[in-house]
Copies of this chain bind each other. A is one copy, B any other.
């Protein structure tokens, strides 16, 4: 399925699953929408924390993508959205048209799903993709650099990798610096404040077999964690794992 077809199904409400493994070869994006009064400060914050929050497109006027998927409507071409009030998810919806107003600024943020095709093609099959599950995500104790009142801790995604392929996984993903790049932690969840790897804070629990170790990458769910910690009055985000699938190819972001 081409991204355009998938997004068309999403717009019609026919696809509401996590997007891991969909449209292999095309990059996927996290989304954060904020009222203008917060957007400028968030942009500065993201710039200082670009390993966790790499911003690839900002939609200032209207609600159509111009760069990553020209013409795609950000209001209903993502499978699921979270509506946050005072930092709390009050609703999960498949269409945010009722919440739209021209004051909203949309940020599209690099996502580690974008390097999964490269991992698979380099001999690292991914269990959450094979099982059509969501990736496992965790809050950590890794502090972000505070900027203009924005502050908080990093969220990470986890993928179990065969012990003999750990170096390959680090190297392959390092070639996608705008999609979080190389892992932030290899093999020791407790070092970043994850006490029980079988209980993710977002997404699905993913088994780690005896011949594998868990690798952790910065995750674009980080802004949601920050918005919650800061109790921002209003924000909209994608629902974790339910991404904006773009028309851009992975290979364009390989550095």
Which residues does chain B contribute within 8 Å of A10, judged by CB atoms? Answer: none
A163, B188: Cβ atoms under 8 Å?
Answer: yes
Asked if A213 is an interface residue, CB under 8 A from chain B, the answer is: yes
Q: Give every chain B residue within 8 A of A205 (Cβ-Cβ).
A: none
Chain A contributes a number of interface residues (CB within 8 A of B) equal to 18
Residue of B nearest to A215 (CB): B167
A191: chain B residues at CB < 8 Å are 163-164
- Tell me the bound Cα distance from A39 to B162 in angstroms: 38
CA distance A184 to B182 in the complex (A): 17
Inside 8 A of A184's CB, which chain B residues have their CB? 167
Does any Cβ of B come within 8 Å of A225's Cβ? no
Of A11-19, A58-66, A143-151, A168-176, the segment with at least 4 beta carbons within 8 Å of chain B is: A168-176
Instruction: Count copies of this chain in the complex.
Output: 2
Q: Is the CB of B188 within 8 A of A167?
A: no
Nearest residue, chain B, Cβ from A174: B171
Asked if A186 is an interface residue, CB under 8 A from chain B, the answer is: yes
Instruction: Give the CA-CA distance A166 to B169 in the complex, in Å.
Output: 11
A215-B213 Cα distance, complex, nearest whole Å: 15
Say whether B164 contacts A167, CB under 8 Å: no
State how many angstroms separate the Cβ of A65 from the closest Cβ of chain B. 31
Residues of B close to A167: CB separation below 8 A: 170, 174, 182-186, 215
Check B186 against A163 for contact (C-beta < 8 Å): yes
Q: Chain B residue with minimal CB distance to A213?
A: B187
Encoded as 1 (CB less than 8 Å from any B CB) or 0, chain A from 207 to 230 comes to 000000101000000000000000
Tell me, in angstroms, the Cα distance from A184 to B164 when the chains sit together. 8
Tell me how far the C-beta of A158 lies from the nearest C-beta in chain B, rounded to whole angstroms.
13
User: What is the interface of chain A, defined by CB distance below 8 A to chain B?
Assistant: 163-164, 166-168, 170-171, 174, 182-188, 191, 213, 215
The 4 closest A-B pairs by CB, nearest first: A170-B170, A166-B186, A171-B174, A167-B183
- What are 26 residue pairs bridging A and B, where the CB atoms are less than 8 Å apart in the complex? A163-B186, A163-B187, A163-B188, A163-B191, A164-B185, A164-B188, A164-B191, A166-B166, A166-B170, A166-B186, A166-B187, A167-B170, A167-B182, A167-B183, A167-B184, A167-B186, A167-B215, A168-B182, A170-B170, A170-B171, A170-B174, A171-B171, A171-B174, A174-B174, A186-B186, A187-B187
